Amino acid sequence: MDARNLTFLFYGFLAAWLIVLLYVLSLARRNARLKKELENVKNLVAQSESAPRLEDRVR
C-alpha cells in the first residue's frame, strides 16, 4: 500500500508542477510573439507617418 501510495504522491506533485510549468512556457512564447508583433507594428506606423498620404500623392 505504502509504495503505491508514494508513487501516486509523486505523480500528483509532478502533474501539478508540470501544468504550471507548461503554462509558464506558453506565457514565455506568447511574450516573445507579442514583442515581435509590437516591433513590427511600430515600424509600420513609422513608415506610414514618413510616407506621403494618398491625397498628397494625387495632388
Partner 1 sequence: MREKIAGGLIIAAALLLSYNFYHIFKVLPDDALQGPIYRILFIHVPAAITGMIGYFVALGLSISYLMTRNFRYDSLAASVVEVSVIFSLVNIVTGSIWARVIWGIWWTWDARLTSALVCVLIFAAYVMMRRAIDEPTQRARLSAALCIFGCVDVVIVWKSIDWFRTQHPSPVLSIRTGGGHMDPAMEHMFYWMLLAILMIASALVLIRTRQETMAREIDSLRRFANAAA
Q: What one-character-per-residue DSSP string does 3-52 give?
A: HHHHHHHHHHHHHHHHHHHHHHHHHHHHHHHHHHHHHHHHHHHHHHHHSP
- Segment 20 to 59, residues that bind partner 1, using CB under 8 A: 20, 23-24, 27, 30-31, 34-35, 37-38, 41-42, 44-45, 48-49, 53-54
Q: Indicate the residue among 38 and 59 with the shorter CB distance to partner 1.
A: 38
| Cα–Cα distance for residue pair 8/13, rounded to 1 Å | 9
Q: Which residues bind partner 1 (CB under 8 A)?
A: 1-2, 4-6, 8-9, 11-13, 15-16, 19-20, 23-24, 27, 30-31, 34-35, 37-38, 41-42, 44-45, 48-49, 53-54
